[in-house]
Amino acid sequence: MAIHSSVLELIGETPIVRAQHLDTGLCEVYLKLESANPGGSIKDRIGMSMIEAAERRGDLSPGATLVEGTAGNTGIGLALVAQQKGYKLVLVVPDKMSREKIFNLKA
């Protein structure tokens, strides 16, 4: 098993599985298991892409504070990447967001 120096190296490196026991006709169907990303969803990729694009444009300075409106998984992806890259993150969430999601965002 490989040892990684950063959790960011795991984003997008999710397994692909050939679907079996499904009637796919002549086609083979492959499933990319994005739930295996560190934050648990495909939104980890989006969080990393957003932050890396801002870095490439020169929009972020070291320790910058990022602000994002979110209802869940995008915020989790951003929180994961921001923490690893040394950015602060302020998330604006809906009033009716579940306690579980808020807990995950704070973690």
What is the full DSSP assignment across 47-91?
A: HHHHHHHHHHHT---TTPEEEEE-SSHHHHHHHHHHHHHT-EEEE
Active-site residue 101, yes or no? no
Length of the chain: 107
Cα–Cα distance measured from residue 2 to residue 12, given in angstroms and rounded to the nearest whole number = 15
32, 43, 88, 101: the catalytic one is 43
Q: Please give the backbone phi and psi of residue 40, each rounded to the nearest 5 degrees, phi first.
A: 90, 5
The residues annotated with a catalytic role in the active site are: 43
